[in-house]
Structure 1
Amino acid sequence: MSTRIIRFRDWARPVPPARREVLSATPESDEGKPPVLFVPGFGHGAWAFAEYWLEHAASRGFPAHAVSLRGHGGSGPGPKATLRAYSHDVVQVAASLPRQAVLVGQGAGALVVERALARYPARAAVLAAPVLGGWATLATALRRNPAGTLPAVFGGRLRMGRRQLFSREVPEATAKAYTARLGRASTRAQWQLIAHRAAEPPVGDPPVLVVGSPDDRVVPASALTKAARRYGGAPLLFPGMGHDLMLDARWREPVDAILDWLDKGATM
C-alpha cells in the first residue's frame, strides 16, 4: 500500500490559519504513556471532554488534551470551514505534542479523526459513537430527528436535544445546560458530512477501536458494527447510554474501557 507524502491541494491551497483552543490535564508524574487528544463532534467544544474525561485520563497516567475545532468552543471563527480544515486542526495540535498521540474522536469528530489519520501517524485511534457520514447518516437523522435535521439540509443549523444526545439517567437540568452550550459546524462541513467519501487509509496502520451504545439515537448499532469491521474488529458497546458518551451519567465506563485498551497493548 502506498502513502502519498505530498498532496498537491495541500501545497497549492493551504488551509487558512486559525486560533485553536486546547484544554489539557496532566498526570501527577510522567509514566511514559502516550498523550491522548480528544476531538469533539459538530457543535461541541473541548469543554465536552473537560467535564469528566480529561481529568480522569490524567488520573490514569495519560497526558490528556481536547481541541475545539475552528468555529467551535473557544477556537477562532470558521464560518467556511471544511472537513479538511477540521482535520488540519487535529493534525496540527497532535504534531505539537511531545510524543506520538492517540486520537479519540466522538460523533462527527470521529470522521475528522479518520481524515487526520491519513496525515498523522497516530499511536492508536478510537472512534466513539462515530458519525462517519454518507447518505445513510442523513436518512437516519431525518427518521430519528426530523425537526432538528431538516434545517441543516437547507443550510441551517443541525439541532440536537436531550433525546438525541443523552440517556434518561442524565438529569433534565444537566442535559439542558449541556445543550445550551452547543454551537454549530459550518454549512460546508455539514454538507461534506452528507456527501462524504471513505477516508484514505491511516498512515502506519495504527490499531483502531470503535465504541458506542446500541441505544444511541444518532448512530444505529449497525453503523457501529460497520465502522469496526472496517478496522478488523467489533465495536465495544455500552447499552443504556446516549450519543454523548463523555457527558452521560455513566461516563466513566467507556473512558475506562478506552484507557484499559490502551494499557493492554494497543500503544505498545
Structure 2
Amino acid sequence: MRSELLRFDDWTNPVPPVEREVVSMTEETDAKLPPLLFVPGLGHGAWAFAEHWMPAAAARGFAAYALTPRPGGDLRAQAHDVVQVAASLPRQTVLVGHGAGALVVAYAMGRYPARAAVLAAPVMDGWPALGAALRVNPLGTLPALFGGRLRLHRKQLFGPDMPGERADEIIARLDARPRRELVTHGPAPRPAGNPPVLVVGSPDDRVVPRTSLDRTAARYGGAPLLFPGMGHELLLEAAWAEPIAAILDWLGKELET
C-alpha cells in the first residue's frame, strides 16, 4: 500500500469546494472519547446512519457525525471531503465506512491519521460486487453499466428477517449510480499513522463475497468480524444493533491500549 499525504493533483487540479451535508449527534457525549465520522455507501446519505447507528454510538458516549457524499463526486473528491470534515472535528476521529463508503474511508486514511477505522461490508474491489449483482439482479444492474440508475431489490441488500415493507421503503430512498472507477481504481494508499482497522460483514452478503471480506481484512492485518444471516445493509437490517454493538465494543478495547 502506498502513502499519499501529498499529491501532485492537489496542486494542479484541486478538488472543487462544495457545501457539505453533515449530520451530527453530540449531546451528552463523553469529551474524552474520539468522535465517529460515518461515511455512507453508494446511493445512501447521512440519513442511513442517522436511523440507528449514530444514536447507538451517541448512547455510548461518542459524538457521532455522518457525511453525505457530494453529488457526482469522484473517489478523490469524496475522500477529500472525509479528510476535511475529520480534520475539522475536535479530536482525532474514528472513520466508519459502509459499502463503497468503506473504499472512500480507505482512501481518506492515506491522507488523514485516523484514530481507528471500521470498514462495514466494504466494496473495495468492484469486480466481485459487479459479478454478484449481475448474477442476482441482472435486469436491475445492466442499466448502471451504461450510466443509468442501479435498481436494487431486497434480496441483494437484506437478510430473510427484514420485513418486506420496510425493505422496500429503504430501497425507494436509494439513488445508486455507480461510477466506472469503482472497478478501475488503483489500490488504496497505506494508512497514515497505522490505525487499527476492523472489517465487519456477513457471509450471506449478496453484494460483497466472503472472499472479498477475507482479502480486505487480511490487507489490514486481521480477520473479518462476521454476522451470519444478515445482508449487505448491516446498518439498516432488522438486527442492526448487533454489528454496531460489536463495533463499539471493539473500539472501546482499542482505546484502552
TM-score, structure 2 as length reference: 0.95
Q: Deviations over 1:167-191 (max 9, x none)?
A: 1212112111111111234x5xx20
Partner of 2:205: 216
Does structure 2 conserve the Cα–Cα contact (< 8 Å) formed by 1:118 and 1:201?
A: yes
How many Å apart are 1:192 and its aligned residue? 0.1
Query: Does 2:223 align with 1:257?
Result: no
Map of 1:45-194 to 2, 5 A cutoff?
A: 45-71=45-71, 78=72, 81-185=73-177, 190-194=179-183
How many Å apart are 1:57 and its aligned residue? 0.3
How many Å apart are 1:266 and its aligned residue? 4.8
| Structure-2 change in CA distance of 1:115 and 1:4 (3 Å) | closer
| Structure-2 change in CA distance of 1:142 and 1:26 (3 Å) | same
Partner of 1:240: 229
Does structure 2 conserve the Cα–Cα contact (< 8 Å) formed by 1:144 and 1:218?
A: no
Does structure 2 conserve the Cα–Cα contact (< 8 Å) formed by 1:149 and 1:158?
A: yes
How many Å apart are 1:138 and its aligned residue? 2.2
| Structure-2 change in CA distance of 1:131 and 1:239 (3 Å) | same
User: What SS does structure 1 have at the residue aligned with 2:67?
Assistant: strand
User: What RMSD over aligned residues (CA atoms) do the two structures have, in Å?
Assistant: 1.6
Code of the aligned partner of 1:103: L
| Structure-2 change in CA distance of 1:65 and 1:222 (3 Å) | same
Code of the aligned partner of 1:39: V
Does structure 1 conserve the Cα–Cα contact (< 8 Å) formed by 2:40 and 2:68?
A: yes
Partner of 1:202: 191
| Structure-2 change in CA distance of 1:242 and 1:4 (3 Å) | closer
User: What SS does structure 1 have at the residue aligned with 2:180?
Assistant: helix
How many Å apart are 1:2 and its aligned residue? 7.9
| Structure-2 change in CA distance of 1:55 and 1:8 (3 Å) | same
User: How many angstroms apart in 1 are the aligned matches of 2:189 and 2:139?
Assistant: 33
Code of the aligned partner of 1:216: D
Code of the aligned partner of 2:50: A
| Structure-2 change in CA distance of 1:8 and 1:169 (3 Å) | same
How many Å apart are 1:27 and its aligned residue? 4.5
User: How many angstroms apart in 2 are the aligned matches of 1:212 and 1:264?
Assistant: 20
List gaps (5 residues or longer) in structure 1: 72-77
Partner of 1:36: 36
TM-score, structure 1 as length reference: 0.91
How many Å apart are 1:84 and its aligned residue? 0.5
User: What SS does structure 1 have at the residue aligned with 2:187?
Assistant: coil
How many Å apart are 1:166 and its aligned residue? 1.2
Code of the aligned partner of 2:92: Q
User: How many angstroms apart in 2 are the aligned matches of 1:145 and 1:161?
Assistant: 8
Does structure 1 conserve the Cα–Cα contact (< 8 Å) formed by 2:158 and 2:232?
A: yes
List gaps (5 residues or longer) in structure 2: none
Code of the aligned partner of 2:46: A
| Structure-2 change in CA distance of 1:136 and 1:147 (3 Å) | same
User: How many angstroms apart in 1 are the aligned matches of 2:2 and 2:235?
Assistant: 36
Does structure 1 conserve the Cα–Cα contact (< 8 Å) formed by 2:29 and 2:62?
A: no
Code of the aligned partner of 2:184: A
Partner of 1:10: 10
